[in-house]
Amino acid sequence: MKLFTSLQSHWKTLATREQRLLLAALTLIVCAALWWLALAPALATLRSAESQARLQDAQLQTMLSLQAQAQLIQAQPPLPPGESRRLLEATVKALGATAQLVVMGERATLTLKGISADALTQCLVQARLNARTLPSEAHLTRNAAGTWDGTLVLNLK
């Protein structure tokens, strides 16, 4: 309270011209603070809203596509006994020396050595779509050459 009365008494001692200059400076400071704290962030958000909406639309289309693909996979009739194994073996054979498959009952262990990420992705997609297998375990490491080593355990249906 004492500070306020001190400022008030000092204000009264200033000339009218000085009071106007101080009010103009204070107005400028308040306007700048409003700009930096309220308007600028809001305008930046508004400017980026359209690109974010396009990105989210693209993500939604991807998710809808994946949903449709999952529904198609779920609607597939079951494979005859042994067919899943035969199809998985054919899929893994295409990988050549980078993959070795061992099947024991309802589980298949795929051992990988130096396989590229693209080849691994294609193999898993084909195994899922054709042989209708699902990975249940994955123990993969990236080697110095940038390829992948490890094992995948797949459940046969």
Q: Are residues 34 and 88 in the same domain?
A: no
Residue 65 shares a structural domain with residue 102: no
103 closest CA partner among 116, 120, 122, 90: 90
Rounded to the nearest 10 degrees, how much is the dihedral formed by the CA atoms of 126, 132, 133, 135? 70
Q: Which domain holds residue 116?
A: 83-155
CATH number at residue 143: 3.30.1360
Whether residue 61 has pLDDT greater than 90: yes
Give the percent of the chain with pLDDT over 70.
100
Q: How buried is residue 103: exposed, middle or buried, by Cβ count under 10 Å (0-12/13-18/19+)? A: middle
Q: Of the candidates 27, 52, 74, which is a domain's last residue? A: 74
What digits encode the pLDDT tens for the residues 92-115? 998 888 899 999 988 999 999 999
What is the CB-side half-sphere exposure of residue 133 using CA atoms within 13 A?
31
Confidence of residue 143 (pLDDT cuts 50, 70, 90): very high
Residue 81 has pLDDT above 80, yes or no: no
Residue 142 pLDDT: 94
